[in-house]
């Protein structure tokens, strides 16, 4: 009789109900041994999952993660609506997802935060006897972490700001890039570069700075800066041609 009671308890760990969230059809909820409340909404047709976690040790502050087909689309705090990485908060309770009786939902989460891809209910080949004491830890995935980091940077850049705040937010990076151009010119002045090398380095630096804005800083390139590098490179080419033309008179 004891095994049946244990199986019934594990199968009733998650409560299933229709979802109250717009765009979702199914909801599962449970409470952990530490008092954290997990609510998971699922849209089967779109393979979309919304995980809401209320953390007891943080006075039940709520966090939201939205995942579609294994890709994390959004991570944020519900009250402040600020974006942040929720790995440190969801991973400690990821073990409870082993007993969520919905394989398609788990596959849609895609292993994020250490959530398993298959349910682990009694009677399955993955069955265990007790609730997890040491939750599963998320396997470090560099590309996925980098993608989440760049997504958060892009969200910060797209936040509405006044022109003055936008100017001062971009100012340090633009000063750094222009300083690089200044150092190249100083290297030519001190004899470390000739005009041909200076023209090449300035042209490459302009392209790299523009691409760096777009790829890493997640913002539109500052075109006057790129054009300034290109103009300086063109002027260096012009001066090199002039030196060669006048060299015949020397």
User: What pLDDT was estimated at residue 201?
Assistant: 92
Rounded to the nearest integer, the mean pLDDT of the chain is 82
159 vs 61 pLDDT, higher one: 61
Which pLDDT belongs to residue 121? 65
- Taking the CA atoms of residue 226, residue 230, residue 233 and residue 238 in that order, the dihedral angle to the nearest 10 degrees is -160
pLDDT digits (tens, 9 = 90+) for 126-147: 434 434 444 444 455 677 777 7
pLDDT digit string, tens, across residues 179-199: 999 999 999 989 888 888 999
Express each pLDDT in 67-99 by its tens digit.
Answer: 999 999 999 988 777 788 899 899 999 988 988
User: Which H or E run contains 64?
Assistant: strand 61-68
Packing angle between helix 223-246 and helix 195-215, nearest 10 degrees? Answer: 170
51: β partners: 40, 65
Segment among 1-5, 72-76, 166-170 with least mean pLDDT: 1-5
Residues 6+ apart with CB under 8 A from 199: 233, 234, 236, 237, 240
């Amino acid at each position: 009789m004891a095994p049946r009671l244990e199986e019934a308890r594990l199968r009733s760990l998650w409560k299933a109900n229709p979802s109250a969230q717009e765009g979702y059809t199914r909801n599962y909820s449970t409470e952990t041994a530490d008092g954290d409340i997990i609510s998971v909404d699922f849209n089967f047709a779109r393979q979309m999952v919304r995980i809401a976690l209320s953390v007891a040790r943080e006075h039940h502050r709520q966090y939201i993660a939205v995942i579609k087909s294994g890709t994390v689309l959004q991570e944020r705090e519900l009250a402040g609506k600020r974006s942040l990485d929720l790995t440190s908060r969801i991973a400690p309770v990821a073990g409870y997802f082993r007993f969520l009786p919905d394989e398609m939902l788990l596959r849609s989460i895609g292993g994020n935060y250490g959530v398993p891809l298959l349910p682990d209910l009694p009677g399955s080949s993955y069955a265990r006897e007790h609730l997890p004491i040491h939750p599963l830890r998320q396997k470090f995935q560099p590309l996925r972490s980098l993608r989440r980091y760049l997504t958060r940077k892009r969200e910060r850049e797209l936040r509405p700001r006044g022109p003055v705040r936008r100017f001062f937010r971009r100012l340090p990076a633009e000063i750094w890039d222009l300083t690089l151009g200044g150092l190249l010119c100083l290297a030519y002045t001190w004899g470390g570069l000739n005009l041909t090398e200076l023209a090449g380095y300035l042209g490459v630096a302009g392209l790299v700075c523009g691409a760096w804005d777009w790829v890493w800083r997640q913002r539109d390139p500052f075109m006057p800066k790129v054009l300034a590098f290109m103009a300086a490179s063109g002027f260096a080419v012009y001066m090199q041609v002039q030196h060669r033309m006048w060299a015949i008179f020397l």
